[in-house]
Amino acid sequence: LNVIIMSAEKVVNMINYSNINFPEDRIWVHIPDWEMTLKIATFLPVIIFGLYGNFVILQLIVLNRALRTPTNMLVGNMAVADLLTLIICPVMFMINDFYQNYQLGSMGCKLEGFLDVAFLITAVLNLSTVSYDRLTAIVLPSETRLTMWGVRFVIAFTWLGGFLIALPLALYRTYKVRQW
């Protein structure tokens, strides 16, 4: 343990920060262009395929009446939550990652956390509901299944639950500029 502490001290002593006058000299304003390009190129296929796949699921459910079953309505609701997550989360992540200072301001600070958490919690609640529906269909086939009215109630509950869980972020999250 003593050897580890001594080697850590050597590393710290080798780093010289005296040539950086931080408040006046910016370390970086945004990350290098090549890194931004790499991250965008990584995110873009995930976003495009996710949007396309979820849009196709929704289109199939809307256009084909035979697919409007309670289970498929839950899957469609999950697709809506995933679409919104795919639109908001990667964009917010990239904006936060690309710039040294927060770029979205006070309203962005409140909305970013609220929307990210609301859509993700809604997606998780939807996934839990679909899992429960499938479990009861397999393990308890003779029990009463979800009706369309019940599915509407569950869908409303998942969205309400997601927004209520995320509400403290919208109410209490504050944007503060660091003073050096």
Q: What are the distances in angstroms from CA 10 to CA 13, 14, 17, 86?
A: 5, 6, 15, 45
Does the pTM of the predicted model rise above 0.85? Answer: no
Q: What is the pLDDT along the chain (180 residues), one digit of tens a residue?
A: 555 555 666 666 666 666 666 555 555 567 788 888 999 999 999 999 999 999 999 999 999 999 999 999 999 999 999 999 999 999 998 888 887 777 888 888 889 999 999 999 999 999 999 999 988 889 988 887 888 999 999 999 999 999 999 999 999 988 887 665
Q: Could you give all domains of the chain from N- to C-terminal order, each with its CATH number?
A: 13-172 (1.20.1070.10)
Q: Which residue has the tokens 């529906």?
A: 133
